[in-house]
C-alpha cells in the first residue's frame, strides 16, 4: 500500500510517498481503507518535533512511528473473527491515537479504539475534518461546565478547534463573542457568533465586558491577561496553555473562585457520537479550507504550518 513515511525530523520535505506492507487485522481489529485524513497542527509538530518532549513519543533521535496521522475516515474492509461492533462495508471515522499511521491507504485498529460510524450526510473528507477540532472543543467545553445562556468569549484565529467551538457554543445556547482578525469576521458571524471583536482594533480586556467563560484556542492570551474580564466563578479555558497558565491553575484551585481549564484533550468515542448526531441534525458543519492528494502531503503540511488555514486541511486518499 501507499503511505507517507518520514525517517528523520525536519521540514515538510522529509515526508516521502512510499510503498509499505499492507496490515492484516488481528482477531480484535478492523482493517480500515482510509479515504481521508486531516493535517492538524499536532501533525506538523510531531514532524519537527515541537515541543521537544514529543520525542519521547515519536522517538528521541529518529522517528519510531514513521507514518504520521491521527484522524481518519474510511470504510471497513475486513474484520477479525472476534469483532462484533463493526462489519465489512461500514463507513467509519475516528482516531488512531498514539499509534499514528493515518497517512496511508490502510490502518488496523482495535474495535475498542476511538472509532464510530460516520455521519450519514457527510463525505469522507467532511467526516475526517471534524474529529480533531470537534473532539478537542467538546472536551474543554465539558470541562468548563458550559451552560445555556452563559456569556462566552472565544479567542482564536480560524483553525479547526476554533471553528468547531463556535458552532458547539451556539448549539449549547451560549451568548458567543468571537475575537479574530478583520478578514475572518464574516466567517465567525456565519458560524454563530452574536458579536465579533477585531483584535487588531480592540482589546477585549479593556472594554469592561465580563464573561462566564473565556476560551483561548490558539494560545494568544493568558489567564493573567484575561482574569479581570471573567465574572466571579468564571472559567478560563486553554488548549494551548503556557507554563505560567499551569502555575496559575494550581494557585486558582486553592485561592481563587475563578478557575483555569487546561491540559490535553481526551479522545472519546462518545464525542464522535455527539458530533455525528449534530452533523446529521444540521447543527454542525465541517469547515474545510483546502483538500490535497496523498502525493501533496508535504505541501499540505507547509500550508498548515503557516498558521493561516480557515478551518481544516484534508488529504484525500
Dist. CA 48–CA 67, nearest whole Å: 14
Please report which helix (H) or strand (E) contains residue 49, including its range. none
- Dihedral of CA atoms 267, 268, 271, 276 in degrees, nearest 10, equals 100
Residue 267, domain member (yes or no)? no
Q: What is the CATH number of the domain that holds 136?
A: 3.40.50.720
Cβ-count burial of 81 within 10 angstroms (0-12 exposed, 13-18 middle, 19+ buried)? exposed
Q: What is the pLDDT of residue 185?
A: 87
Q: What is the pLDDT of residue 156?
A: 82
Domain count, the chain: 2
Same domain, residue pair 170 and 89: no
Residue 182 has pLDDT above 90, yes or no: no
Range of the domain at 11: 2-122+286-316
- The predicted-structure confidence for 66-92, as pLDDT tens digits, reads as follows 999 999 999 999 999 999 999 999 999
Average pLDDT on 198-217 reads 94
Same domain, residue pair 82 and 188: no
The pTM assigned to this predicted structure is 0.92
Q: Coil, helix or strand for 219?
A: coil
Same domain, residue pair 143 and 255: yes
Same domain, residue pair 41 and 113: yes
- The predicted-structure confidence for 216-225, as pLDDT tens digits, reads as follows 998 888 888 9
Residue 303 has pLDDT above 70, yes or no: yes
Residue 275, domain member (yes or no)? no
Average pLDDT on 288-316 reads 95
Residue 167 has pLDDT above 60, yes or no: yes
Residue 297, domain member (yes or no)? yes
Same domain, residue pair 137 and 253: yes
Cell output for 89:
462495508
Q: What's the chain's average pLDDT?
A: 93
Same domain, residue pair 100 and 199: no
Q: Residues near 193 by Cβ (< 8 Å), separated by ≥ 6?
A: 154, 166, 170, 176, 177, 178
Predicted confidence band at 253 (pLDDT cuts at 50, 70, 90)? low
- The predicted-structure confidence for 128-155, as pLDDT tens digits, reads as follows 999 999 999 999 999 999 999 999 999 9
Same domain, residue pair 142 and 253: yes
Distances (CA, A) of 149 to 29, 173, 196: 43, 6, 18
Same domain, residue pair 57 and 93: yes
Same domain, residue pair 170 and 256: yes
Percent of the chain whose predicted confidence (pLDDT) is above 90: 78
Residue 266, domain member (yes or no)? no
Q: What is the CATH number of the domain that holds 59?
A: 3.90.180.10
Amino acid at each position: 500500500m501507499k503511505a507517507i513515511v518520514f525517517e528523520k525530523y525536519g521540514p515538510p520535505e522529509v515526508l516521502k510517498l512510499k510503498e509499505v506492507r499492507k496490515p492484516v487485522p488481528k482477531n480484535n481489529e478492523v482493517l480500515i481503507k482510509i479515504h481521508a485524513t486531516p493535517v492538524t497542527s499536532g501533525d506538523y509538530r510531531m514532524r519537527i518535533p515541537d515541543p521537544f518532549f514529543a520525542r519521547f513519543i515519536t522517538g528521541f533521535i529518529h522517528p519510531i512511528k514513521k507514518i504520521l496521522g491521527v484522524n481518519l475516515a474510511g470504510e471497513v474492509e475486513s474484520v477479525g473473527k472476534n469483532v462484533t461492533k463493526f462489519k465489512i462495508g461500514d463507513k467509519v471515522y475516528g482516531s488512531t491515537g498514539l499509534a499514528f499511521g493515518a497517512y496511508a491507504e490502510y490502518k488496523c485498529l482495535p474495535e475498542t479504539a476511538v472509532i464510530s460510524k460516520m455521519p450519514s450526510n457527510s463525505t469522507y473528507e467532511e467526516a475526517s475534518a471534524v474529529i480533531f477540532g470537534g473532539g478537542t472543543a467538546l472536551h474543554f467545553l465539558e470541562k468548563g461546565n458550559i451552560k445555556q445562556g452563559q456569556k462566552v468569549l472565544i479567542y482564536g484565529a480560524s483553525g479547526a478547534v476554533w471553528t468547531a467551538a463556535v458552532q458547539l457554543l451556539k448549539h449549547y445556547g451560549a451568548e458567543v463573542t468571537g475575537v479574530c482578525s478583520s478578514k475572518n469576521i464574516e466567517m465567525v458571524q456565519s458560524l454563530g457568533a452574536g458579536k465579533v471583536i477585531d483584535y487588531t482594533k480592540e482589546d477585549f480586556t479593556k472594554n469592561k465586558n465580563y464573561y462566564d467563560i473565556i476560551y483561548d484556542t490558539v494560545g494568544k492570551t493568558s489567564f493573567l491577561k484575561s482574569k479581570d474580564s471573567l465574572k466571579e466563578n468564571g472559567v478560563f479555558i486553554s488548549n494551548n496553555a503556557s507554563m505560567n497558565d499551569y502555575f496559575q491553575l494550581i494557585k486558582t484551585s486553592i485561592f481563587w473562585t475563578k478557575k483555569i481549564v487546561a491540559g490535553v484533550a481526551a479522545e472519546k468515542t462518545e464525542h464522535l457520537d455527539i458530533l455525528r448526531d449534530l452533523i446529521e441534525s444540521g447543527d454542525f458543519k465541517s469547515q474545510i479550507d483546502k483538500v490535497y492528494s496523498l502525493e501533496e502531503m508535504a505541501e499540505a503540511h507547509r500550508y498548515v504550518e503557516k498558521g493561516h488555514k480557515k478551518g481544516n486541511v484534508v488529504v484525500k486518499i
